[in-house]
A and B are shown apart, each in its own frame.
Chain A
């Protein structure tokens, strides 16, 4: 099953996701994020806007490949893949 790894900054808002493996069903990035949201309600409001698009300063990759479809998040996360959720870093 795919796993999800994310920036630790999100644990502040969703402590339920901290220190645990997050495994989900294989599927599109959008479907994977919805599964994380089921564990941590409100999660998708942090990484997606109300149109379902990735927020401007959030980046995703499937293993080492950046997710390029930021609007519909249709890229598939394979069975043995990992979805990484990053934030762009900015200054003080």
Chain B
């Protein structure tokens, strides 16, 4: 059982400890600084927070003493020569049929370090980070140095090797609305899944591109979006341009992957080779951001449904968690302990986590809820936290 929960919030890192059966928050760390993701490295106990300074740029912060002290990690940077093809936010008069103009290029700089993932036990120093604008970074030394994964950055779906010169193919990745705060419209990598059976097998997910897989440690990458539907695009089954909000896999059955996006809940039981839509709009299970998967049985997943899509709030003023135990064929809604009137919460993509039978989620309204019975009943851990961006068990 986990005894720690880390929250990334708009005003800092909140750590809960479990002692004598009760969860208690510590005083906030990184006071006043937006923290878009916080996590615990299970291999050595290091705590990580991704700081989203409004003025001073994104920074990683690391604690090697359980959160007593933190240090800046300033080493994650795009290398000289890293460029991308600038995406322009479509305007109302945007014509998707118009011939593409000459690409415009920009030198890459990190806008947001959106997600962190940890390597296998056999790779003690390996860390992964996903960024806006769409970079996957790898560290082999616990964050002292980072390297951009160039095969993914130079992928033919993004225009090819822009270090070497101008684009040799069309850029088919779209921008994420999450990038607009930084004055750009570029993609972002928010999900990184390392296969526990094979550390060279990794899935990443990018908004707005889709799921991408490597089976050779990042030397080559393939899109894995077959079966995905993007029903607001001219071609709903296009290979690229999907907007997975978050992708999660079952640790014990890594071929079982789940995602939720604007167009439903999607499930794959064959390692993302094929996805199928498993949402039930009549039951409220359709739109939302986070998804969590059981660590043992990949048919079990949880979502926190929201009213789609432009409203982004709890459905009919009542907050609930839905669970499936059969790969999405049926869903059960659980409301015990959650507010059923005047609730307008939205839970963001990293805002839900599971550890064994315990689940926790936090909302942008600053409410944090915990369940110790697989989501069937909930207790409130507090109503006055800052807007919550991420929840991860330690």
List residues of A whose CB falls within 8 A of some B CB: 9-10, 13, 42, 45-47, 49-51, 53, 55-58, 87-88, 90
Q: List 10 A-B contacts (CB under 8 A).
A: A9-B55, A13-B72, A42-B74, A45-B72, A46-B53, A46-B57, A49-B57, A50-B110, A53-B109, A88-B55
Asked if B55 and A57 make an inter-chain contact with CB atoms under 8 angstroms apart, the answer reads yes
Residues in chain B near residue A51, CB distance under 8 A: 78, 80, 107, 109
CB distance from B245 to the nearest CB of A (A): 26
Give the one of A46, A47, A58, A90 with max B CB within 10 A.
A46
Mask of B82-115 contacts with A, CB within 8 angstroms, 1/0:
0000000000000000000000000101100000
Q: Is B56 an interface residue (CB 8 A)?
A: yes
- Kindly state the separation between the CA atoms of A88 and B183 in the bound complex, as whole angstroms: 14
Asked if A55 and B57 make an inter-chain contact with CB atoms under 8 angstroms apart, the answer reads yes
Residues in chain A near residue B74, CB distance under 8 A: 42, 45
Q: Is B382 an interface residue (CB 8 A)?
A: no
Q: Is B77 an interface residue (CB 8 A)?
A: yes
Residues in chain B near residue A47, CB distance under 8 A: 56
Asked if B77 and A50 make an inter-chain contact with CB atoms under 8 angstroms apart, the answer reads yes
Q: Is B323 an interface residue (CB 8 A)?
A: no
Select B109's contact among A42, A46, A49, beta carbons within 8 Å. A49
Residues in chain B near residue A53, CB distance under 8 A: 109
CB distance from A44 to the nearest CB of B (A): 9
Asked if A45 and B78 make an inter-chain contact with CB atoms under 8 angstroms apart, the answer reads no
Mask of B322-340 contacts with A, CB within 8 angstroms, 1/0:
0000000000000000000
Residues in chain B near residue A46, CB distance under 8 A: 53, 56-57
| Interface class of chain B by DSSP | loop
Residues in chain B near residue A87, CB distance under 8 A: 55
CB distance from B77 to the nearest CB of A (A): 4
Residue of A nearest to B77 (CB): A50
Q: Is B45 an interface residue (CB 8 A)?
A: no
Asked if A57 and B109 make an inter-chain contact with CB atoms under 8 angstroms apart, the answer reads no
- Kindly state the separation between the CA atoms of A87 and B182 in the bound complex, as whole angstroms: 15
Asked if A50 and B56 make an inter-chain contact with CB atoms under 8 angstroms apart, the answer reads no
List residues of B whose CB falls within 8 A of some A CB: 53-57, 59, 72, 74, 77-78, 80, 107, 109-110, 182-183
Asked if B183 and A56 make an inter-chain contact with CB atoms under 8 angstroms apart, the answer reads yes
Residues in chain A near residue B57, CB distance under 8 A: 45-46, 49, 55
Known contacts A56-B182, A56-B183, A57-B54; A45 and B59 CB within 8 A of each other = yes
Known contacts A42-B74, A45-B59, A56-B182; A50 and B54 CB within 8 A of each other = no
Known contacts A42-B72, A56-B182, A56-B183; A50 and B109 CB within 8 A of each other = yes
Residues in chain B near residue A10, CB distance under 8 A: 56
CB distance from A90 to the nearest CB of B (A): 6
CB distance from A56 to the nearest CB of B (A): 6
Residue of B nearest to A48 (CB): B57
CB distance from B33 to the nearest CB of A (A): 9
- Kindly state the separation between the CA atoms of A87 and B55 in the bound complex, as whole angstroms: 7
- Kindly state the separation between the CA atoms of A47 and B53 in the bound complex, as whole angstroms: 11
Asked if A55 and B110 make an inter-chain contact with CB atoms under 8 angstroms apart, the answer reads no
Residue of B nearest to A51 (CB): B107
Residue of B nearest to A56 (CB): B183
Asked if B55 and A50 make an inter-chain contact with CB atoms under 8 angstroms apart, the answer reads no
Asked if B55 and A55 make an inter-chain contact with CB atoms under 8 angstroms apart, the answer reads yes
Known contacts A13-B56, A56-B182, A57-B54; A50 and B72 CB within 8 A of each other = no
- Kindly state the separation between the CA atoms of A58 and B182 in the bound complex, as whole angstroms: 13
- Kindly state the separation between the CA atoms of A57 and B182 in the bound complex, as whole angstroms: 10
Other CB < 8 Å A-B pairs besides A51-B80, A56-B183, 20 of them?
A9-B55, A10-B56, A13-B56, A13-B72, A42-B74, A45-B57, A46-B53, A47-B56, A49-B57, A50-B77, A50-B109, A50-B110, A51-B78, A53-B109, A56-B182, A57-B54, A58-B55, A58-B56, A88-B55, A90-B54
CB distance from A46 to the nearest CB of B (A): 4
- Kindly state the separation between the CA atoms of A55 and B111 in the bound complex, as whole angstroms: 10
Residue of B nearest to A58 (CB): B55
- Kindly state the separation between the CA atoms of A12 and B93 in the bound complex, as whole angstroms: 46
Residues in chain B near residue A9, CB distance under 8 A: 55
